[in-house]
Amino acid sequence: MRTERRNSIVVLTVATIAMLACPAGFAVVASASTGGAQAATGGVAAASAQAPIGRHGRAVATWFGPGFYGKRTACGQVLTPEVVGVAHRTLPCGTLVRVSYHGHTVVAPVIDRGPYAQGVTWDLTAGAARSLGLAGTARVGVRLVGQVANTPLLGTPEGSPASAATGGNAPG
């Protein structure tokens, strides 16, 4: 269970997410044997090929981070404190989600699977939670706003160590 928590502020815009999303070499293909889908390269997990863009509502969210830093998410990104993303059980990797909480909003891609706590629909990375001012479990507003290609650097803010080491491009 994800219980470690930290706070600070990181904001990632839709334009930055789209710029980081390098579609070269990634394609989502269905795979019944894995219970979802796998990217054609890199073994990146995904769910269905298309998210219902425009769907919105309110749901319970929590956040995760420190115990998972340095590990790969289900969608293939290396989790760091700077990564801005969300985990969802079924939405495709790369689905852009606008999350709102107490007047703060962040647009973040689906980069992981979860949450696995009962009654919780969304798991935010520490970077996404910090930008919203969310420090625990709370009800948030959610709207699916788009889809970008899934890459190993999706959700990594420009100028972060992982982004700088590769020149902002996905490692080959």
Q: Which amino acid is at 8?
A: S
pLDDT digits (tens, 9 = 90+) for 56-82: 999 999 999 999 999 999 999 999 999
Q: What per-residue confidence (pLDDT) applies to 52?
A: 84
Q: Where are the domains of the chain?
A: 14-24+51-162
CATH architecture of 14-24+51-162: Beta Barrel (2.40)
Q: What angle do CA 47, 64, 52 make, to 5 degrees?
A: 30
Q: What per-residue confidence (pLDDT) applies to 162?
A: 57
Region 12-29: what's the mean pLDDT? 32
Residue 37 neighbours by CB under 8 Å, 6+ apart? 28, 29, 30, 31, 45, 46, 47, 48, 49, 92
- Lowest-pLDDT range of 1-15, 29-43, 77-91, 116-130: 29-43
